[in-house]
Amino acid sequence: MIQAMRETARPARAEAMVPAAYTVVDHRRETHDTVTLTLLPGRGTALPRFRPGQFTMLSAEGIGEIPVSISGDPDDQHDGRLVQTIREVGAVSAALCRSEAGSEIGVRGPYGHGWRLASALDGDLLVVAGGIGLAPLRPLIRSALGRREHFGDVTLLAGARSYADLLYPLQLDAWARRRDTAVTVTLDRPDPGWTGRVGLITGPLAETAIVPERTTAYLCGPEIMIKVCADALAARGVPPERIQVSLERNMKCGVGWCGHCQLGPHLLCRSGPVCRWDAVADLLDIEEL
Amino acid sequence: MLFDHPLPEVIDRAGLDQLVKLLQADGYTVVGPTERDGALVLDELAGGADLPDGIGVETGAGHYRLRERADGAVFNHSAGPQSWKQFVHPPRQRVDAPEPVRRLAFIGVRPCDLAALAILDGVLGAAPYPDDRYLARRDQIFVVAVNCVEPGNTCFCASTGTGPAAEWGYDLVLTEQEGEGGHRFLLGTGSVAGEEILDRLTHRTATGGEIREARRAVDDAAGSMGRSMPETDLRGLLNRARGSEHWEQVANRCLACANCTMVCPTCFCTTVEDATDLEGDNAERWQRWDSCFDPDFSYIHGGAVRKSVGSRYRQWMSHKLSTWHDQFGTSGCVGCGRCIAWCPAGIDITAEAAALAEKERTR
């Protein structure tokens, strides 16, 4: 199918629904249900550069297409490489997670509004990640650490259900060893021998000292975690327009045609996935919106 | 536009047949209303004789019946179960293979449906990601509009500002007249292509009396619609009604059957499915119409966001009347009344809007 699509793509303007063929060059198992793929475009099929927080639509041939956030380093996009972290939750994600090096998958994108970092220059960054939510935040963290002198305090709080569920443990260790970065990892269910924090991420969040007027917060994780943490930060005086949250809805096309990813006035594939808290706080208060 | 035209022209019933022939000779597949299975459907016409002479319709909430008219009027019937959406945004299309584009001529497009085509242009044809397939189809379409002079019981385009007069977006526009002087159609042009067809049609110039009569008929139509949207800021009303208990009351009647979204001329939502042959060697990717009433529509890992029927009706109605403005700069409702006629439970969007407005007033 990907082959057929390539033949029919018009040279003048590629059709938005036609995936580009990418080859898996690295397959890394992160946890029992999560895999990171490194993808390289075929000749002439490279997509535009991505920005932290954006997503792509990944196709498993004959099975379907799903939105997946980009987890790679935005400063390392040579040869058009894409790094994406996929959690196995359905038929398409399972097939993508099985894609070994050398196999071909379809990619469309990158799509959506990502994390706004420019507005945080010279201020403090507070990154709060729950579970797989760390994946779309990793490009932001790398981008910030690559320009470390432009920011004040950089704090990362990451939560996971158990150590086995913790994403990028070595990366977290490396960041934690930096003197200019504060990292706290908390586990809901600690393994024997775990000496770190235990419990929900709201615990370390409440204990993190912040200067509200200089803080920009970046949140991604389960919707309930985002809501509780954003409300807590707003209550402590962080301006809602400087709390950025990445939201999940059923992004089916990525280009605003299919109508599936609506959240009130938003088509989240266009105005999201990263939204300012002042634009969505009221909407998340309403059940089943 | 018709009435601003310096000299509206007139064709008779045979002129309509001639118009179909001319368009066919120019390579158009001519599509228009025709009687089938107890309804006026939109389909390819072999000739002008396939048009529904003397057939009217009777509509109501959950009600649609054909009726014999006392006159031979061709276009005096309100919207049927289909809309022109099916030709510009097909119910099923393969997205991973090229598709030949047919030149279509639409005959009998009402002002509500003209407005719907303009809305679809804004949704599917606009930046940043225009749907090339939609644009390619749309590009090839010749539009013969009809001014509406006999609105039905479920019509409310006068209150949505989308009728009963066709303002723009057509190549030719007709106003049908019966009675003294015979069965005839005042004809105005809206494009160079329309003028070229007019030049080849047997026609005469309209009289002052005919023009005055056409104007009066369209003016009267505005005042004789069976329904109307409440005169209030619907966009704000629906925004404020998100937490209303009214949605649960609608859910007690709504079957979540998705009929309203299928017949709506602006509902554009789609899903995409992959299909493989039994060997798994060949795969195809198909896009098809989807509906926000389907529980899977809002599915994300862990389950559907909109589990209750009330939340799905709220999504549909709020999108149509309120958040459509946020997303596309217009309302998504053109007042055609199809969702009212084809709702098996007879749920009426104008009545639900009025109920929400009333609840807000009396709170």
Written as six digits, the tokens of B39 are: 């309804």
| pLDDT of B128 higher than 90 | no
Environment class of B53 (CB within 10 Å of its CB; exposed 0-12, middle 13-18, buried 19+):
middle
| Res B5: pLDDT | 56
CB contact at 8 A, A202 and A228: yes
Q: Which residues pair with A157 in a beta bridge?
A: A128, A184
Nearest chain B CA: its distance from A95 CA (Å): 14
Task: Provide the 10 A C-beta neighbour count for residue B207.
Answer: 13
Q: Where residue B4 falls among pLDDT bands split at 50, 70, 90? A: low
- Which chain B residue has the Cα nearest residue A254? B129
- Least confident residue range of A6-15, A46-55, B93-102, B347-356: A6-15
Q: Residue A267, Cα to own-chain centre: how many angstroms?
A: 18
Which residues on chain A are in Cβ contact (under 8 Å) with B313? Answer: none
B275 pLDDT higher than 50: yes
- Residue of B305, B308, B331 to mutate when probing chain A, most A C-beta within 10 A: B305
The yes-or-no verdict on residue A65 having pLDDT over 60 is yes
pLDDT at A9: 34
B264 Cα to chain A: minimum distance (Å): 15
Q: What pLDDT, on a 0 to 100 scale, did the predictor assign at position B206?
A: 94
pLDDT of residue B283: 87
pLDDT band at B103 (very low <50, low <70, confident <90, very high): very high
Query: Which of A61, A264, A270 has the CB atom closest to B283's CB atom?
Result: A61
Query: What is the mean pLDDT of the segment spanning B287-316?
Result: 96
Please calculate the CA angle A198-A204-A208 and round it to the nearest 5 degrees.
160
Q: Check: CB of residue A225 under 8 Å from CB of residue A247.
A: no
pLDDT of residue B6: 57
* Strand, helix or coil for residue B299: strand
CA B100 centroid distance within chain:
24
Average pLDDT of chain A, as a whole number:
93
Cβ contact, residue pair A260, B290, below 8 Å: yes
Query: Residue B22: what residue type?
Result: L
What is the C-alpha to C-alpha distance for residues A207 and A236, in angstroms, rounded to an integer?
12
For A29, how many CA atoms within 13 A lie in the half-sphere containing its CB? 7
Contacts of B308 in chain A (CB under 8 A): 288
Distance from CA of B132 to the nearest CA of A (A): 7
Summarize the confidence of residues B19-28 as an average pLDDT: 98
| Mean pLDDT score, A125-146 | 97
pLDDT at B63: 97
pLDDT given for residue B251 in this prediction: 97
Express each pLDDT in A90-103 by its tens digit. Answer: 999 999 999 999 99
Q: What is the pLDDT of residues A151-202, one digit of tens each?
A: 999 999 999 999 999 999 999 999 999 999 999 999 999 989 999 999 999 9
* Chain A contact probe: residue of B124, B137, B240, B274 with most A CBs at under 10 A: B274
pLDDT for B162-204, tens place per residue? 999 999 999 999 999 998 889 999 999 999 999 999 999 999 9
B271 to A260: CB separation less than 8 angstroms, yes or no: yes
Structure tokens of A9? 């793509």
Domains and CATH numbers, chain A: 2-111 (2.40.30.10), 118-284 (3.40.50.80)
Tell me the per-residue pLDDT of A4-25, one tens digit each, with 9 for 90 and over: 333 333 333 447 888 999 999 9
Percent of chain A beyond pLDDT 70? 95
Which residues of chain B form beta strands (DSSP E)? 9-12, 29-36, 39-44, 55-60, 63-68, 92-94, 104-109, 142-146, 172-177, 184-189, 204-205, 270-276, 283-289, 299-300, 303-304
Integer Cα distance of B2 and B47 in angstroms: 25
**Contact check, Cβ <8 Å, B271/A5:** no
Neighboring chain B residues of A8 at a CB cutoff of 8 Å: 96-98
A257/B95 touch (CB, cutoff 8 Å), yes or no? no
B67 CB burial (10 A radius; 0-12, 13-18, 19+): exposed
In angstroms, rounded to a whole number, what is the distance separating the alpha carbons of residues A37 and A29?
9
Q: What is the pLDDT of residue A3?
A: 39
Residues of B in contact with A270 (CB under 8 A): 128
Helix or strand or coil: residue B58?
strand
Of the partner residues A18, A64, A249, the one whose CB lies closest to the CB of residue B96: A18
Average pLDDT over residues B79-84: 96
- Half-sphere CA count of A74, side-chain side, radius 13 A: 27
Q: How much is the average pLDDT of B100-118?
A: 96
Q: What is the ipTM of this complex?
A: 0.90
Q: What is the pLDDT of residue A204?
A: 97
Which residues does A contribute to its contact with B (CB < 8 Å)? Answer: 1, 4-5, 8, 10, 13, 15-18, 59, 61-65, 87, 89-90, 248-250, 252-253, 255-260, 262, 264-267, 270, 286-289
What's residue B65's pLDDT?
A: 97
- A-chain CB neighbours of B123 within 8 Å are 257
Q: Which residue in A1, A8, A260 is closest to B98 by CB distance?
A: A8
- Flag whether pLDDT at A214 surpasses 50: yes
Which is more confidently placed, B347 or B127?
B347
Measured between beta carbons, the chain A residues lying within 8 angstroms of B276 are 62
Best B94, B248, B271, B272 member to test A by mutation, with max A CBs in 10 Å, is B272
* Structure confidence at residue B287 as a pLDDT band (50, 70, 90): very high
Verify whether the Cβ–Cβ distance A1 to B274 is below 8 Å.
Answer: yes
Give the C-alpha separation, A79 to A83, whole Å. 12
Which residue in the block uniquely carries the two structure tokens 């990154």?
A127
Per-residue confidence (pLDDT) for residue B96, from 0 to 100: 86
pLDDT at B179: 80
**Between residues B16 and B96, the one the model is more confident about:** B16
- Residue B232 Cα, gap to closest chain A Cα (Å): 19
> What pLDDT, on a 0 to 100 scale, did the predictor assign at position B203?
95
- Report pLDDT digits (tens) over A252-263: 999 999 999 999
* Residue B176, phi then psi, degrees to nearest 5: -85, 135
Residues of A within 8 A of B318 (CB-CB) are: 264
Domain ranges in chain B are 9-223, 234-362
CA distance B343 to chain A (A): 22
Q: Do B297 and A260 touch (CB under 8 A)?
A: yes
Q: What pLDDT, in 10s, does the model give residues A16-61?
A: 888 999 999 999 999 999 999 999 998 878 899 999 999 999 999 8
DSSP state letter for A240:
G
- pLDDT of A17: 87
pLDDT for A50 equals 96
Neighbours of A48 (CB within 10 A): 10
Tell me the pLDDT tens digit for each residue of B217-243: 999 999 999 999 999 999 999 999 999
Closest chain B CA to residue A92: B274
Kindly state the average pLDDT of the residues B296-322: 96
Q: Which tokens go with B305?
A: 């966001």
A-chain residues near B297 (CB < 8 A) = 250, 260
Q: How far apart are CA A140 and CA A122, in angstroms?
A: 15
pLDDT at A7: 35
Best residue in A262, A280, A287 to probe B by mutation, most B CBs within 10 Å?
A262
Which chain A positions have a beta carbon within 8 Å of B119's beta carbon? Answer: none
**Shortest Cα distance from B115 to chain A (angstroms)?**
19
Residue B286 β-bridge partners: B94, B273
Q: Tell how far CA B257 is from the center of its chain.
A: 20
Q: How far apart are CA A196 and CA A158, in angstroms?
A: 12
**Alpha-carbon dihedral angle through residues B143, B149, B153, B157, given to the nearest 10 degrees:** 60
Chain A nearest-CA distance from B282, in A, is 7
Q: What is the DSSP string of B103-164?
A: -EEEEEE-HHHHHHHHHHHHHHSSSSS--HHHHHHHHT-EEEEE--SS--TT--HHHHT--S
CB B3 within 8 A of CB B18: no
Query: Residue B341 has which token pair?
Result: 């006629």
A64/B273 CB distance under 8 A: yes
Residue of B300, B307, B323 to mutate, testing the A interface (most A Cβ within 10 Å of its Cβ): B300
| DSSP sequence for B65-94 | EEEE-SS--SS-S---S--THHHHS-SEEE
For tokens 């109501």, name the residue: B60
- Chain A nearest-CA residue for B276: A62
For A50, phi then psi, to 5°, come to -100, 160
